[in-house]
């Protein structure tokens, strides 16, 4: 097994959604339960923090410099994030998700559409949905019946999209079409109780799927056929999401959660690993407000 080292022991309550910005040479990620966006460079220095009006659940770069599409708990905004300056809300999409629900986890596709989930904030009811935000800022529903939506990831050719229902311990695969629509939903990977729960994930350039284990203390790489290939171990149990980073996209940044993990000194830290495989650059959202 490979190992990860702490990059920033920030102790995020619910760290999620890491994003490597080659444009800014920084990692961005969110702490949902502390209502903040965090950022640092790949040495753990140049740390920055922005407080948000609601818990930020995901962050995606746009084609516009310094503008990010941010999924808050019940709304989506375009925000300007500059280290050392207060966050500036540039645009707010109409429509608000209802009380008791919140957004969770997102990825942009190669055409700039953004795939994301919504879920019951109490994680008790399977009323979560899977959505897509198109390039004009219009929202459509793709799937339903999720308790905790997690981890959308896209294959290198953009033709397969992976999505997870964490409590069901199931990762699904969909066929993704040129118009952004999805068909052919099928079970791709099932976790066992010993694995914990599948959380955030990302694909590498070879089509491997790197999946974080909530209550499993590791990140596992699965081959395109679902076979387990290798794993990265962490000194914490609640591993939440990961993204490739660095000029060569040959490093993996990993977020974790300190929620109910007082006995784990590094819980909630941002970690860094060298997986020995090159990743994919994150796509940017086409909608800029």
Distance CA 235, CA 75 (A): 34
The pair of three-digit structure tokens given for residue 110, joined into one six-digit string: 């190669």
16 is in an annotated binding site: yes
For residues 284 and 28, what is the distance between their CA atoms, to the nearest angstrom? 14
- Residues serving a catalytic function are 199
CA of 135: how far to CAs of 132, 139, 148, 153, in Å? 10, 10, 26, 18
What are residue 25's phi and psi, to 5 degrees?
A: 55, 45
Query: Which residue is associated with the tokens 């953004």?
Result: 114
**Does the annotation flag 134 for ligand binding?**
no
User: Is the C-alpha dihedral spanning 93, 97, 103, 108 positive or negative?
Assistant: negative
Give the annotated binding-site residues: 16, 102, 104, 150, 199
Give the annotated binding-site residues for substrate: 102, 104
Give the annotated binding-site residues for a divalent metal cation: 16, 150, 199
């Amino acid at each position: 097994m490979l190992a990860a080292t702490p990059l920033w022991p920030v102790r995020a309550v619910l760290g999620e959604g890491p994003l490597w910005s080659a444009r800014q040479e920084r990692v961005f990620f969110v702490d949902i339960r502390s209502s903040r966006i965090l950022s640092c460079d790949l040495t753990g220095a140049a740390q920055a923090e922005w407080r948000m009006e609601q818990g930020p659940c995901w962050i995606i770069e746009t084609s516009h410099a310094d503008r990010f599409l941010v999924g808050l708990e019940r709304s989506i905004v375009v925000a300007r994030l500059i280290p050392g300056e207060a966050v500036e809300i540039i645009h707010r999409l109409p429509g608000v998700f209802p009380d008791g629900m919140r957004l969770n986890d997102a990825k942009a596709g190669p055409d700039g559409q953004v795939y994301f989930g919504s879920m019951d904030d109490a994680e008790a009811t399977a009323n979560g949905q899977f959505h897509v935000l198109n390039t004009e800022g219009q929202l459509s529903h793709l799937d339903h019946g999720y308790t905790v939506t997690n981890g959308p990831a896209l294959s290198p050719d953009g033709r397969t999209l992976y999505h997870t229902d964490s409590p069901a311990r199931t990762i699904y695969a969909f066929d993704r079409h040129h118009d952004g629509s999805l068909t052919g939903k099928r079970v791709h990977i099932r976790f066992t109780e010993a694995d914990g729960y599948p959380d955030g994930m990302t694909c590498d350039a070879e089509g491997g799927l790197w999946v974080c284990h909530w209550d499993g203390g590791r990140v596992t790489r699965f081959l395109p056929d679902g076979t387990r290939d290798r794993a990265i171990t962490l000194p914490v149990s609640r591993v939440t999401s990961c993204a490739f980073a660095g000029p060569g996209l040959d490093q993996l940044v990993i977020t974790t959660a300190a929620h109910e993990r007082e006995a784990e000194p590094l819980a909630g830290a941002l970690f860094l690993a060298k997986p020995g495989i090159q990743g994919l650059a994150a796509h940017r959202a086409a909608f800029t407000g």
